[in-house]
Chain A
Amino acid sequence: MTGEIRLHVSDLTIRIGPPGPDVVSEISFAVAAGEVLGLVGESGSGKTTVALALLGHARRGLHIASGEVRLDGVNLLALPKGDLREVRGARVAYVPQDPSAALNPTLRVGAQVAEALRVHPGVVEDPAARAVEVLREARLDATPDTLRRYPHQLSGGQQQRVALAMAFCCRPRLIVLDEPTTGLDVSTQRHVLDTVRSLCGSYGVAAVYVSHDLAVVGGLVGEVAVMYAGRIVERGPTAKVFADPIHPYTRRLLAAVPSPDRAEELTGIEGQPPRPGRRGAGCSFAPRCDFVIDECRVAPPAPVAIDSRAVRCIRAEEIRGPSASRPASAPRKSSADRAAALSLRSVSARYGRRLVLSGVDLDVPRESCVALVGESGSGKTTLARCIAGLHTSWSGQIMFDGTRLEPGLRGRTKDTLRRVQYIFQNPYASLNPRKTIGQIVAQPLEPLLGLPFRHRAERAASALADVSLSADFLDRYPDQLSGGERQRVAIARALVVEPDLLICDEVTSALDVSVQAVIVEQLRRLQRERQLAMIFITHNLALVRSIAQTAVVLCDGAVVESGPVDQVLEHPANPYTVALIKDAPVLSGRE
């Protein structure tokens, strides 16, 4: 399977405009035929910039300052534009993150794939036959009916398979996959990943797999490169890097990844990575590093070769050793005997004529957290919206503390509105961009508590302090905040009115894993301190253990399993739960 070195990247540096700061610096790696390299990093680490440079492309405003990208010995960065166009698609292929946006909505599937072949005449004799062949290889049933469909008639997983088929159709030498499974369900994700692996193996294609999801990468790639602030800080065999990380950043990153097997406290990384131009002279991770010494701040560390790895840390040799032991299990109180704060009886909901929830029963005990787990389309968000009053067309009964909740917001009293708070999935959409953080957090105080103006700033500041944000944030605007900070503001806004029930709808899915850990820990602490009842909606099974006492699994609008977290995760009774747990990516190296 493994062959000669196919892709060789050396000292690749990309800058903002000709004189500007580096976005990525001194990137070097090599990938052999049939191998997959994982390029892992959090948002802003420069991984997509590197991925695009492998196709000889730099986005507007950026330019490739130095370095080489050699594919089979040819430096792509030195090729004239016309030659580069020949190479792209034919010898280097790209699979984008969002297939629904990347596929042309007006072309049928068959034509779509054949078009990729027609751009490079001479690759194959019969584009239509090849299209069917590659679609089969991508495990998409290439019946004439499928070929005649439009992209919007396919599911997300099928769309991604079409994109994969398009990438593989010219039999490229190198394929660059930019987070191809983000946004797909775990089972779909797993199947797509298997396809990628087998295609790369059977055609001797070198692949670079860009992802922020460590667990996904761990299951797929033989070698992994971890990026931080535009540099590869650690590169080596996946199994070794994951089992025994050396670079302090890799350690902290791995400690932040939740695991479905163990209940543990997650430790996130406080602060945020420095942006281009603010990276300082020394190691970029120094300000957040536990092992920092004065020397770290002098110059960016050169890679140290250690245990078949390259690590950019001057103390790599010293600090090596068993990684800091994972924190002990979080103590968990049983909640079975507590009275229910919220109880749902045979709740069914519709969107138009489509039934999305059918006969859901759910109890949320006081002072405890219930995790609502399910794939997209399982109805978990609809359920939360019914409880909150945002979705009105449902039947059944929702009792909250002995009072019956009306379907719409209009039928509810101010006190009910105050006591049930909702935190949205995407902190980039839930904060009004035209308001300051102070205005946003203080906003519910007037309608819900009738608090006079002079007290509001104080309350807002103390709510921000609860989520570890200083009062300096009061006058800032949401676009000046990172994703994690925004989500904390959203939490502060929910807690400022002292609710009794908190509904968290996928609150960490838009965040990086190190930030996710911080947010989850904060939510758990607040839930305990404030004795809140909480509904935590997630598609990430691994998170369930870290936060909830009870797990409820939803499938196609019905509860298929519910019970204490340990029982549901360890001894699942329902086949759907079993499959869900089996498909969930687990943090470990391949083989």
Chain B
Amino acid sequence: MAVAAPSVAGTSPRGTSRMVRHPWLSTAWRAARTLRGVVGLSLSGSIVLIAIIGPFVTPDPPDALLTLTFAKPSSHFPLGSDFLGRDVLSRVLDGGWVLLVMAALATALGIIAGAAAGISAAYLRGRSDALIMRTVDVILAFPQLVFALLLLSVLGPQLWLIVLAVGLSHAPQVARVIRSATLNISERDYVKVAELQGMRPRRIMTSEILPNLVSPLTVETGLRLTYSIVIMAGLSFLGFGQQPPAANWGLMINENRTGLPLNPWAVIVPAALIALLTIGTNTFTDAFARVAIGIDRPPEESALIDELTLRESR
């Protein structure tokens, strides 16, 4: 009993080595090195970069009326001009970041609310489960976009309201996925152990169950992020997003669609950026999910070997 005591006094279980091997960081790192991961990360990374750096490097003021409407690309305006004669390149560079920030906030909101609802429903069972999941069913009965539109048309197009509406429309779907994942985990022996130790339900949910939901949560986050972008672009297109004259990729597609035969770039470029971002994020989360679940891993004995070789090569 006394053997280890002296040498151990300083070694707290919260030592430094815990940081080195954070399970989801290491999964993300492994995912980033697969082909899918590299493609997904570089695609979405470059789009995010454009959105971040864009506003600082616009060749012209994005709101200035500079030339003819729907001018074809020229040396001064590489992507031509839009329906009011503004520089498309400048508007593309300027119009990304608000969309991305709003999408990220909405995603975070949806994931947090959805995960909290899903975990509580699955772990507490009984009445809480019934109450939470029936509420979820009701919200799910509305298509996501319609739900957001409903809120917006009543309260008017406020940016915070868009975030709230889109975030809340994600929550039920996240709750469904997380609930089924939690049902499985809450029957595991280590959860029973925690119960036997008299741990409070809230603590069990946050410290025993939540860390084991990292893979589904990450996958959901990626998925919801892309949905957020699409829905917000859609809302802008319908006129409920940022209001003109602000530059916004979704709004740009809407504004310039009438000039498609004259200067298609004013529509194609923002549409392509949204598409690439969506594809990139999805590809990366797909890579992450594959690594986390171990889809490409052979079973049992060779799984052990595989895991070992992976760990050694890491």
Contacts and interface: CB of A to CB of B under 8 A. Distances in A.
A571 interface: no
A20 B305 CA distance: 11
B212 interface: yes
B211 A432 contact: yes
B199 interface: yes
B18 interface: yes
Contacts of A426: 189
B312 A475 contact: no
A59 B13 contact: no
Q: Chain A CB within 10 Å — which of B13, B15, B299, B301 has the most?
A: B13
A424 B193 contact: yes
A439 B309 CA distance: 27
A20 B8 contact: no
B5 A461 contact: yes
A434 B312 CA distance: 20
Nearest to B9: A458
B298 interface: yes
Interface in B180-207: 188-190, 192-200
A442 interface: yes
Given A458-B5, A464-B4, A475 B18 contact: yes
B153 interface: no
Interface in A457-471: 457-458, 460-462, 464-466, 470-471
Interface residues of A, number: 58
B309 A424 contact: no
A531 interface: no
B1 interface: yes
A436 B299 CA distance: 25
A501 interface: no
Interface in A273-290: 275-277
A461 B11 contact: yes
Contacts of A460: 13
A471 B305 contact: no
Which of B8, B9, B17 has the largest count of A CB atoms less than 10 A from its CB?
A: B8
B212 A434 contact: yes
Contacts of A409: 195-196, 198
A436 B4 CA distance: 18
B290 to A, nearest CB: 14
A471 B11 contact: yes
A509 B298 CA distance: 25
A429 B298 contact: no
Given A409-B198, A447-B199, A457 B190 contact: no
A457 B196 contact: no
B12 interface: yes
Contacts of A431: 190
A23 B305 contact: yes
A506 to B, nearest CB: 12
Nearest to A425: B189
Contacts of A49: 301-302
A438 B13 contact: yes
Interface string A302-338: 0000000000000000000000000000000000000
A439 B195 contact: no
A590 B166 CA distance: 71
Given A277-B309, A475-B13, A470 B299 contact: no
A61 interface: yes
Contact of B197 (A275, A425, A429, A444): A444
Interface in B2-40: 2-5, 7-9, 11-15, 17-18, 21, 23
A6 interface: no
Contacts of A388: 196
A414 B198 CA distance: 7
B66 interface: no
A438 B21 CA distance: 15
Interface string A484-501: 000000000100000000
A475 B1 contact: no
A437 B7 CA distance: 17
B305 A61 contact: yes
A417 B305 contact: no
Nearest to B199: A447
Given A426-B189, A433-B212, A434-B23, A461 B8 contact: yes
Given A16-B305, A48-B300, A417 B5 contact: no
A276 B15 contact: no
A477 interface: yes
Interface in B188-237: 188-190, 192-200, 208, 211-212, 214
A436 B211 contact: no
B94 to A, nearest CB: 42
A44 interface: yes
Contacts of B212: 432-434
Interface in A538-578: none
Contact of A474 (B13, B23, B190): B13
Contacts of B15: 438, 474-475
A501 to B, nearest CB: 12
B137 interface: no
A432 B213 CA distance: 12
A143 interface: no
Given A409-B196, A424-B189, A443-B197, A59 B309 contact: no
Interface string A14-30: 00100010010000000
Given A59-B299, A436-B18, A461-B11, 9 more contacts: A20-B309, A48-B301, A59-B302, A60-B298, A434-B23, A447-B197, A462-B8, A475-B15, A477-B21
28 contacts: A23-B305, A59-B301, A61-B306, A62-B298, A275-B308, A276-B305, A389-B196, A422-B196, A424-B193, A426-B189, A429-B188, A430-B188, A432-B208, A432-B212, A434-B214, A438-B13, A439-B13, A447-B199, A457-B12, A461-B8, A462-B1, A462-B2, A462-B4, A465-B4, A474-B15, A475-B13, A475-B17, A477-B21
